[in-house]
Amino acid sequence: MDVLIDLDGTLVDPKPGLIGSVQYALDRLGFPVPPADALLWLIGPPFRVSFPKLLGTPELTELAIAHYRECYLGGAMYDAIVYDGVPAALDALRAAGCRLFVATSKPHAYARPILERFDLARSFAGIHGPELDGTNDHKGDLIAHIIAREGVAPERAVMVGDREFDVAAAARNAIPTVGVTWGYGTAGELINAGACALCPAPAGLASMVLGLRDRAGRNGSQQPPVQLSHGGAIGNSAMCGKC
């Protein structure tokens, strides 16, 4: 089984460095600088989508990104925290024979050194993100690129991410998504986007993903629906019939 995993909000909490760099860019542009908590919606989508919304115009997008990168590449990119339980979850998935790939909206030129700094890069067969010029900025395009580049079979793959953008991009490529609720997306956001399962903590991620693999193996393409549970849990998670 191939597992595509988001970076920000899934493997690491990037808030201090990422949001701090956005605030730096706003200040350089002469814009008011909101508090960090008012900017959390920027974690997830590519900046060429979010900066025009933040600035109220697309005309300053590339300049904003340039200022952002000044701060981010100056060291803020490493101002992040690995979520508790993530390394163990990755180890468990690899031990079970899964191939792991990073699929992030962050340029791969940044993602790789971040993962290396936190000793996570060794867990992945490939680390994929957009090019600095915006190629594969749309996560659907990025996942299509990963499928072609790595020989991923969508029917034997799963996406893991914390935002609706992850779910939609994977669905565009016929890959189901396990939504994680320890990041920056809400359970409601993930359910409404079509996530097939919700995982509340990294400790339950490997068993959830492997459970999906085992269900697929038992039932082939005709899988019986399992209703989403809000009160109870299935393996410390909630699952619905889209998986």
Through-space distance between the first and last CA atoms of the chain, rounded to whole angstroms: 14
If we measure between CA atoms, which residue out of 200, 177, 225 comes closest to residue 83? 200
Would you say 12 and 114 are in contact if contact means Cβ atoms under 8 Å apart? Answer: yes
Q: C-alpha distances in angstroms, 211 versus 73, 158, 173, 183, 216?
A: 39, 11, 21, 22, 9
- Identify the burial level of 98 via C-beta atoms within 10 angstroms of its C-beta, where 0-12 means exposed, 13-18 middle and 19 or more buried: buried
Amino acid letter at 200?
P
The active-site residue, picked from 2, 6, 8, 166, is 6
The closest alpha carbon to 234, from 158, 209, 223, 221, belongs to 209
Give me the DSSP letters along 189-206. HHHHHT-SEEESSGGGHH
How many residues in the chain?
243
6 labelled catalytic: yes
Task: Tell me the β-bridge partners of 8.
Answer: 12
113 touches 77 (CB < 8 A): yes
Where would I find the H helices in 106-174?
A: 108-117, 139-150, 164-172
Q: Kindly list the catalytic residues.
A: 6
